């Protein structure tokens, strides 16, 4: 009964969605407030029905109802409860349901909290949001229904893919989807603005918090996925330039560009058309990411062609929204009024520079990700484009961007003074240079580029601090002035500096991997392996059993300078239900560095193969992402964004009226 209710709730959500897709648009045309306001009610109810549908599927998973095909294929009655919850979205159908749940949630959020939006804009935004929602409801109902029943309920499920039975991967998709789907808000606002033919600084102020929130989730989602790949896949790499990863990186790059161009639009009323285009592109790339991962086109271009129902459906969604969005843009975009003027060297100019490099970098990732697919589809030639391609294209574009980063926030609007800023950044230059020299002396000449990378990271870090110091007159004014200036500083200024600092922290961590070291050896019990000041003694094998797996672990005692500092137990888990094995690496964290130990095969002579890495400063890669998110959160809490654009003006005019009376 419950699965049927879930199915039914989804159909009802579709029906509401269809109403919401049409009525508010007609209402906006006829200036009929009642019709426009209908969107708020339907958006809220859509969320209620989709949530009910999602709850129904969750219920099927938690109660291990194997009569539902989706549950049978992806769950097991012995699986720990937390994975019963997370396996709801650990499969294609369920993850699409999560996608629409988040979409409906954003729609409801606009309906409930968007009271300061002009009525017609709100109605149009919700209508566009509903077009997207309807497309995905139809996709789920027609090609990926999670509520299909089996004629006879099997006694036991086939278990979730063991590599997905991990808490890191369990929370990765919701975060990523919050990011992807969050960009749908920017898209809907852009389309609504194009339909209305009107866009102003206030528009940017409404779009920015949604974009910022989506960007924060995407940042953490990507970092989470990267950390999962690092410890679960057993190779110790943090980024593989895999198409699935690139699919999430592209919207992030476009979204980051959008965040910055929206600032120009909000402050200076310039770059309007470009901001609209970026809003459309950011969501288009989110859709492409969903397509790449969900259509099966990556697994095989040929499978995609032979079982096309899903792929072609998503492709149609892509063509409709991307093509439609861009066509509307080409038609209505030129009608928008041009905004304020600025000199090439100015805050606006710096933000344009940022946008230019971010979008170009995004383009290179796009080419590298889709070129192999296109080539295979056209010529049947199979190639792989891997890390070397991206290191040669993405990195050279990111270095100037990072170098320019400290300059941007310190340049004045309209017309800036690069030399003046460079003078004020002296401390940052100094820190960078010292870092380069110290790295050369300590680490030797083994790599010429890495010390420069460390220098760049330090330059950006100190640059962000200098910006804050300048804004608070630190070292120049008495402490009380500094304190009052610091509290008076808008939170978005703190957010900018902290997010930029976070990028540099990540960069620092990445560059440090140049000095990572590794040993691959076969060991017998009581033998010792040494790496970077650490000695590991292999004590022997131990057996454990988990709820739905058996585990064979190797016990190691770790010593540093002869003193025992702990044990590490890398293991292999075998899952009988899927007849498969996973490798669980053991990690030992020392400060922000890690020892990483993963297990290979057991040989006939009783020795085991191990892979041991020392990863200096590796945690900084993900800590940097958290710092970026913190910066985003501070910026989001800025009073200006919370209150929205028109309210102060209303209050001010009310105050004037009162004063006049």
Partner 1 sequence: MTRKQRRLILIGSSLGVLAIAAALVLSALRDSIVFFNSPTDIVEKKPAVGTRMRVGGLVKPGTLQRGDNLSIRFDVTDGNKDVAVRYQGIVPDLFREGQGVVAEGKLDGGGIFVADTVLAKHDEKYMPREVVDALKKQGRWQEGEANMSKPK
The contact set with partner 1 (CB under 8 A) reads 69, 72-73, 150, 154, 158, 161-163, 299-303, 306, 341-344, 352, 356-357, 360-361, 363-364, 367-368, 371-372, 381-386, 388-389, 392-393, 396-397, 520-522, 572, 578-583, 598, 600-601, 603-604, 609-611
Q: How far is the CB of 69 from partner 1 (least distance, A)?
A: 6
Query: Quick check: 2 and 60 in contact, CB under 8 A?
Result: yes
Q: How far is the CB of 18 from partner 1 (least distance, A)?
A: 33
Q: How far is the CB of 595 from partner 1 (least distance, A)?
A: 17
Here the tokens at position 115 are 């009271």
Task: Select 369 or 492, whichever has its Cβ closest to partner 1.
Answer: 369
Phi and psi torsions of 600, nearest 5°: -105, -150
Here the tokens at position 464 are 């962000």
Q: How far is the CB of 90 from partner 1 (least distance, A)?
A: 13
Task: Select 132 or 612, whichever has its Cβ closest to partner 1.
Answer: 612
Task: Select 519 or 590, whichever has its Cβ closest to partner 1.
Answer: 519
Query: Quick check: 291 and 237 in contact, CB under 8 A?
Result: no
Query: Quick check: 106 and 129 in contact, CB under 8 A?
Result: yes
Q: How far is the CB of 42 from partner 1 (least distance, A)?
A: 37
Query: Quick check: 243 and 298 in contact, CB under 8 A?
Result: yes
Task: Select 234 or 495, whichever has its Cβ closest to partner 1.
Answer: 234
Query: Quick check: 6 and 52 in contact, CB under 8 A?
Result: yes
Max CA distance (Å), the chain: 97
Task: Select 116 or 161, whichever has its Cβ closest to partner 1.
Answer: 161
Q: How far is the CB of 452 from partner 1 (least distance, A)?
A: 19
DSSP string for 437-499: HHHHHHHTTS-SHHHHHHHHHHHHHHHHHHHHHHHTTTTTS-HHHHHHHHHHS-HHHHHHHHH
Q: How far is the CB of 22 from partner 1 (least distance, A)?
A: 39
Q: Which residues of 133-146 are buried (b: 16+ CB within 10 A; e: fewer)?
A: bbbbbbbbeebbbb
Q: How far is the CB of 389 from partner 1 (least distance, A)?
A: 5
Task: Select 11 or 392, whichever has its Cβ closest to partner 1.
Answer: 392
Helices 272-294/324-332 angle, 10° precision: 170
Phi and psi torsions of 425, nearest 5°: -90, 10
Task: Select 302 or 639, whichever has its Cβ closest to partner 1.
Answer: 302
The CA distances from residue 417 to 247, 345, 538, in Å, are 38, 7, 62
Cα 405–chain centre separation: 21
Of residues 292, 282, 206, the one with CA closest to residue 245: 292
The CA distances from residue 179 to 174, 283, 318, 360, in Å, are 9, 10, 18, 21
Q: How far is the CB of 414 from partner 1 (least distance, A)?
A: 12
| Rounded CA separation 255/548 (Å) | 41
Q: How far is the CB of 152 from partner 1 (least distance, A)?
A: 9
Q: How far is the CB of 65 from partner 1 (least distance, A)?
A: 14
| Rounded CA separation 14/91 (Å) | 22
Task: Select 307 or 533, whichever has its Cβ closest to partner 1.
Answer: 307
Q: In what order do the strands lie in the sheet with 517-523?
A: 517-523, 608-615, 593-602, 586-590
Query: Quick check: 215 and 255 in contact, CB under 8 A?
Result: yes
Task: Select 429 or 549, whichever has its Cβ closest to partner 1.
Answer: 549
Task: Select 315 or 356, whichever has its Cβ closest to partner 1.
Answer: 356
DSSP string for 387-425: HHHHHHHHHHHHHHHHHHTTTGGGSPSSS--HHHHHHHT
Task: Select 154 or 420, whichever has its Cβ closest to partner 1.
Answer: 154
């Amino acid at each position: 009964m419950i699965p049927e209710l879930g199915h039914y709730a989804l159909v009802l959500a579709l029906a509401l969605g269809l109403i919401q897709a049409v009525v508010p648009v007609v209402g906006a045309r006829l200036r009929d407030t009642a019709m426009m306001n209908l969107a708020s009610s339907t958006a809220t109810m859509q969320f209620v029905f989709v949530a009910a549908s999602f709850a129904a599927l969750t219920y099927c998973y938690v109660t291990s109802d194997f009569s539902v095909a989706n549950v049978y294929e992806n769950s097991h009655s012995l699986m720990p409860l937390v994975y019963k919850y997370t396996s709801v979205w650990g499969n294609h159908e369920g993850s699409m349901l999560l996608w629409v749940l988040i979409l409906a949630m954003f729609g409801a959020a606009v309906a409930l909290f968007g009271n300061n939006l002009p009525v017609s804009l709100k109605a149009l935004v919700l209508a566009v949001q509903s077009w997207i929602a309807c497309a995905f409801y139809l996709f789920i109902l027609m090609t990926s229904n999670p509520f299909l029943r089996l004629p006879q309920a099997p006694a036991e499920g086939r278990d979730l893919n063991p590599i997905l039975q991990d808490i890191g991967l369990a929370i990765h998709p919701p975060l990523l989807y919050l990011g992807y789907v969050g960009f749908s808000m920017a898209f809907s606002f852009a389309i609504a603005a194009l339909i209305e033919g009107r866009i102003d600084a206030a528009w940017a102020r409404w779009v920015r918090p949604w974009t910022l929130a989506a960007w924060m989730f995407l940042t953490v989602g990507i970092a989470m996925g990267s950390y999962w790949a690092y410890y679960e896949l057993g190779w110790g790499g943090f980024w593989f330039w895999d198409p699935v990863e690139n699919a999430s990186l592209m919207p992030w790059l476009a979204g980051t560009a959008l965040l910055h161009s929206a600032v120009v639009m909000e402050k200076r009323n310039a770059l309007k058309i470009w901001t609209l285009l970026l809003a459309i592109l950011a969501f288009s790339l989110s859709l492409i990411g969903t397509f790449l991962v969900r259509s099966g086109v990556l697994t095989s271009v040929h499978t995609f062609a032979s079982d096309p129902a899903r792929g072609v459906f998503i492709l149609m969604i892509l063509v409709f929204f991307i093509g439609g969005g861009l066509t509307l843009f080409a038609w209505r975009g030129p009608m928008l009024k041009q905004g304020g003027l600025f000199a090439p060297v100015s805050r606006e100019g710096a933000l344009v520079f940022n946008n230019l490099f971010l979008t170009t970098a995004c383009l290179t990732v796009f080419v590298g990700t889709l070129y192999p697919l296109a080539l295979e589809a056209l010529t049947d030639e199979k190639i792989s484009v891997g890390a070397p391609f991206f290191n040669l294209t993405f990195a050279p574009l990111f270095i100037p961007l990072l170098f320019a980063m400290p300059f941007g926030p310190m340049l004045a609007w309209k017309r800036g003074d690069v030399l003046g800023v460079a003078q004020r950044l002296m401390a940052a230059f100094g820190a960078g240079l010292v870092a380069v020299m110290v790295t050369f002396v300590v680490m030797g000449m083994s790599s010429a580029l890495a010390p420069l990378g460390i220098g760049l990271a330090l330059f950006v870090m100190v640059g962000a601090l200098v910006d804050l110091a300048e804004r608070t007159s630190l070292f120049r004014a008495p402490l009380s002035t500094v304190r009052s200036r610091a509290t008076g500083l808008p939170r978005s200024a703190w957010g900018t500096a902290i997010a930029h600092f976070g990028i540099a922290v990540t960069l620092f961590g990445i560059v440090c991997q140049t000095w990572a070291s590794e040993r691959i050896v076969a060991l017998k019990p009581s033998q010792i392996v040494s790496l970077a000041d650490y000695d590991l003694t292999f004590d022997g094998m131990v057996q454990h059993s988990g709820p739905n797996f058996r585990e064979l672990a190797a016990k190691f005692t770790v010593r540093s300078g002869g003193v025992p500092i702990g044990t590490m137990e890398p293991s292999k888990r075998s899952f009988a239900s899927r007849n498969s094995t996973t490798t669980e690496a053991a990690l030992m964290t020392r400060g922000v560095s890690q020892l990483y130990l993963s297990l290979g095969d057991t040989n006939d002579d009783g020795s085991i193969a191990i892979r041991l890495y020392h990863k200096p400063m590796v945690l900084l890669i993900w800590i940097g992402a958290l710092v970026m998110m913190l910066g985003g959160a501070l910026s989001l809490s800025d009073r200006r964004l919370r209150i929205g654009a028109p309210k102060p003006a209303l209050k001010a005019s009310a105050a004037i009226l009162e004063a006049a009376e």
